[in-house]
Structure 1
């Protein structure tokens, strides 16, 4: 027993603080712990960034739609927000207006076939822009899903490795006293705990943020459909020789 107490394991056997458990852990378990802690920090950074991004996008969309449906000039709104869009819904609006302006001159006095082709291009431009904007907003979501599903298993790997080392050390010391066994088991289980600390927020945040992103995608698609209907009427009017769109109807 005296020989056991003189070993490093014996000196640190009673240090069951979180820092002590980390210091006593095998180097493989330490790498697992550090990796999971870094993943947890990145998870929280992504969570805060996504929450702020979605709130900012919804707030900008509210302000834009107020201007859009106020009855003002669409060309003026395009010059103010559509040419250099700062948020997703303005990007959708700008893409449609750019395509409409390219087609407006060819539409005057044109055929119904030309009007149908213009409408198809307008719809395609808005759909592509919606997809591109959502791809940007969904960036790093795969990382949240990966951490949520993989982190517990990485932590479990660290636990299994640590327990294997603990039992090897116990066999070498030929001592099964609980005071000798407990610290090694505790430091091994600490890896699983860190894995859960990283995984649980990632899973919860992924579900919540995915729902919010789906709602915002629906909002963009709804705006694209409404604006597409407005431009469809203006396209038909332009084909018959009427003037370009002035305001949302």
Structure 2
């Protein structure tokens, strides 16, 4: 028993399962062929680009949501269009502020910046165009994210097919059905398949989330367009109410 304990004490400690798995993975990647390595490099580039889009859109949408909330609160507290135009440039990331700036420019061309609008149709067109441009800007580069999500599994599948081909080639070269003959090809097939899924899954999830956020932005922008046009349409009512009140006050003084 003492000899056994001494033998166990002098042996080197066994490697951890994580280290063994990492070493095996690196060994398999070192034995890969050129086609499998090319597939992995292509998937790596696609993954880096998709994560660049994901992180960038997360920041863009967060800023647009925050500025839109602040802008609509300030818009509803303001009493004059000029007041809103003064601080609208501070919310350039908000699609609502972009709509307001374009509509207000059209309103100024009609009226010079004061008084009721002569025609609401150009204002409606300006609102629709500005809303479409703002939503299109938010959708920029999302098509690349959808493309990466759709094509990455097929790129990985191409590596899988080539790995199986290598496995059968090794089997035919060895002339015997042994694990050593098919192991390199099978390992290439499994690694490229996993890499394709690793790239595609985050891209799919992010694209669906961003598409849902864009629908929310589009709905909020449409609601703001109607609210803004209603405010512009009420200008004649407010402007005609003031002379009526002045006439009543003058009549009271005359009596």
In the alignment, structure 1 residue 175 sits paired with structure 2 residue 182: no
Residue pairs, 1:183-222, within 5 angstroms: 183-222=184-223
Greater shift in the superposed pair: 92-101 or 25-34: 25-34
Partners of 2:102 and 2:91 in 1: CA distance: 10
Structure 2: unaligned runs, 5 residues or longer: 1-21, 244-255
The aligned residue for residue 80 of structure 2 is 73
| 1:20 equivalent in alignment to 2:27 | yes
Tell me, in whole angstroms, the C-alpha distance in 2 between the residues paired with 1:49 and 1:148. 17
Alpha-carbon distance in 1 for matches of 2:115, 2:229 = 19
Equivalent position SS for 1:175: coil
Between the two proteins, the alignment pairs up a number of residues equal to 222
Q: Which residue of 1 aligns with 2:51?
A: 44
Q: Tell me, in whole angstroms, the C-alpha distance in 1 between the residues paired with 2:90 and 2:233.
A: 21
Quote the Cα distance in structure 2 between the aligned partners of 1:136 and 1:235: 34
Contact 2:39–2:159 (CA<8 Å) still a contact in 1?
yes
RCO comparison, higher one (Cα < 8 Å, 6+): 1
The TM-score, its normalising length taken from structure 2, stands at 0.78
C-alpha offsets along residues 118-173 of structure 1, whole Å, 9 cap, x if unaligned?
21111111111111111111111111211222111110011101211221122112
Which structure has the bigger radius of gyration?
Answer: 2
Deviation at 1:83, TM superposition (A): 9.0
Which residue does the alignment assign to 2:146?
145
Q: Tell me the distance in 2 between the aligned counterparts of 1:188 and 1:16.
A: 18
- Over 3 Å counting, the alpha-carbon distance change for 1:120 and 1:18 in structure 2 is farther
Bigger shift: residues 171-180 or 192-201? 171-180
| Separation in 2, partners of 1:27, 1:43 | 24
Give, in angstroms, the shift of residue 219 of structure 1. 0.7
2:166 pairs with 1:165: yes
Aligned to 1:33: 40
SS of match in other structure, 1:69? helix
* Partner-residue secondary structure (3-state), 2:88: helix
1:125, 1:193 → 2: CA distance? 49
Aligned to 1:233: 234
Per the alignment, in what secondary structure is the counterpart of residue 56 of structure 1? helix
After superposing the two structures, state which structure 1 stretch, 179-188 or 92-101, moved more: 179-188
Q: TM-score, normalised by structure 1?
A: 0.80
Q: CA deviation at 1:19?
A: 2.7
Whole-Å separation in 1 of the counterparts to 2:91 and 2:200: 39
Q: Distance in 1 between matches of 2:109 and 2:64?
A: 28
Asked if the contact 1:25–1:162 (Cα under 8 Å) also holds between the matched residues in 2, the reply is no
RMSD: 2.7
